[in-house]
Structure 1
């Protein structure tokens, strides 16, 4: 399947997601490469093959509860059978498709992921700007991801990294999940009682290069165009993108311009 066709399918999922959120009064914002695409290219980044959105924690939790599958789209999330990609806590994907992503087979993972052409959904947490809040933001997601990756041989990774991750095979998954849940609850409770906070990717995600004021993110504005469709984005896209990417208007080196989906297959579900 060609990149343009993948992008068109992802756009179809994103339009459905936008309408679903509007119908259920759920807040969201495009983010990551999708926001760069809207700002810099007025569409997709030419080589990009994913679509990224974030939701405030409460809206993310409500989305998981009110989602209803239909004959075209399905939801897969952390905790579901065979889902090993906790770096993205939830995905909505196109039924009847499966994707193979770069380097996964070489690292011992299944050739095809347990989902198809997708939209990535990330929770966003409001953290107390103290030692524990910053610790939860920086390290809990890395622990969750490393525990999931420890089931694979990861031969394409460095020896030191592989051995450190292998040690986590000895740690019960229930313990890691308990630590994750306790950290999420701490952040929720503490952020509601302190005035000094920051917005960052959800506790369970390994991404730590976002630390901005809540007012720069929410409420989202409906003014970001991707291929003629208007999506919601941050109050200050400049603040978000500068924090995450620095000079986001400059193109990356050619060596960094590649797609992650290397194969798409169609199946009967």
Structure 2
């Protein structure tokens, strides 16, 4: 018997550790089982409340949703004017299908555009904001990616601001680019995708923002094209990836396009053609409230301002008038 084993046996025999740890394991096992039952019960309760009851939002939340809908409507008006195709994606589309509007705990909006339309939308957006007297309210932002490369930017974000407290974003709309793949045989290319994403951010910074040259390298590395093909996937600027917020997926284009307008709140906006195909691939069983919820905390920040409810209401009215008179 080796010295390490002798010492180990001595410790176990002298302290009664075997029995002690067995009791601790039994206690922890029972505690985990109890917590699992509590978690399951809470999840069933949330499913009942959020899916089977018509919950009434507070005045502030309703004003927030009204303003958000008008921001989404403004984007839709631009796209209709220029014949750009776009769609509700992620939690926004899920809310439209499962809740007839916003997911109860969601406080921003997600949309998608194929790369060609995305680039054109970015080009005309400043002119449309100025023409509609919104350039002092809707701010164009490109998401910072300093965690990858210092100074790198990614997908388009539209923030609706008010000058309260030196500027507060009242709501936000994310616009994610998507790309077509020339061919796809089902292989796992997650690591390549991550490597190409990182290189893209380096190229973007090193070239002082030469987007066209940087994205051209991405297209070459991932075998992408701007022409429609049977396969499409998230642009490298987004949140998808093997170790990212959303899993990297290659969608069958004919499951997503042509887009179909669906009701979201009091309006209709484009969404994926086959809702079950998209949402099952994205969320799994999308008719169940997830066990872990993600919050952006925007409403928590807005509640701190005593006058915020009146501000939100007035901004929603203002933006609705813009949309009603949009040309």
**What TM-score do you get using the length of structure 2 for normalisation?**
0.57
Q: Distance in 1 between matches of 2:254 and 2:193?
A: 19
Q: Does 1:75 align with 2:147?
A: no
Q: For residues 92 and 228 of structure 2, what CA distance do their matches in structure 1 show?
A: 32
CA distance in structure 2 between the aligned counterparts of 1:193 and 1:10, rounded to whole angstroms:
32
Alignment partners' CA distance in 1, 2:60 and 2:172: 15
Q: Is 1:92 equivalent to 2:158 in the alignment?
A: yes
User: For residue 186 of structure 1, what is the aligned residue in structure 2?
Assistant: 220
Are 1:29 and 2:67 an aligned pair? no
Give 1:37 shift: 0.3
Deviations 1:8-37 (A, max 9, x none): 221110011111110110000001000110
Give runs of aligned pairs for residues 117-136 of structure 1, distance below 5 A: 117-128=171-182, 129=184
1:260 paired with 2:297, answer yes
CA contact (8 A) 2:93 2:271 kept: yes
Alpha-carbon distance change, 172 to 49 in structure 1, aligned in 2, over 3 angstroms: closer
Q: Structure 2 CA distance, aligned partners of 1:207 and 1:113?
A: 30
Query: CA deviation digits over 1:78-135, x for unaligned, max 9?
Result: 58xxx97946x10122132689xxxxxxxxxxxx999552111000111242779765
**Contact kept in structure 2, 1:34 and 1:51, CA below 8 Å:** yes
CA spacing shift, 1:113–1:139, aligned 2, 3 Å: farther
CA distance in 2, matches of 1:234, 1:92: 22
CA RMSD, Structure 1 to Structure 2 (Å): 4.0
Q: Cα 1:25–1:97, aligned 2, differ >3 Å: closer, same or farther?
A: farther
- Stretches of structure 2 that go unaligned for 5 or more consecutive residues are 1-58, 145-149, 242-246, 312-327
| Deviation at residue 172 of structure 1 after TM alignment | 9.4
What SS does the aligned partner of 2:78 have?
Answer: helix
Q: Partner residue of 1:173?
A: 205
Contact 2:152-2:204 within 8 A present in 1 as well: no
Higher relative contact order (CA 8 A, sep 6+): 1
Number of residue equivalences: 225
Deviations 1:150-184 (A, max 9, x none): xxxxxxxxxxxxxxxxxxxxx99317978953443
Tell me which residue corresponds to 1:250: 288
Q: Which runs of 5+ in 1 are unaligned?
A: 100-111, 148-170
Indicate conservation of the 8 Å contact 2:181/2:223, yes or no.
no
Match of 1:152 in 2: none
Task: Write out aligned runs for 1:1-269 (5 A).
Answer: 2-67=60-125, 68=127, 69=129, 70-71=133-134, 72-77=137-142, 86=153, 89-96=155-162, 116-128=170-182, 129=184, 137-141=193-197, 173-174=205-206, 180-186=214-220, 190-191=224-225, 198-208=231-241, 209=247, 210-222=249-261, 224-253=262-291, 255-256=292-293, 258-261=295-298, 262-264=300-302
Which of the pair is proportionally richer in helix?
2
Closer, same or farther: CA 90–194 of 1 in aligned 2, 3 Å: closer
The range that moved more, 197-206 or 90-99, is: 90-99
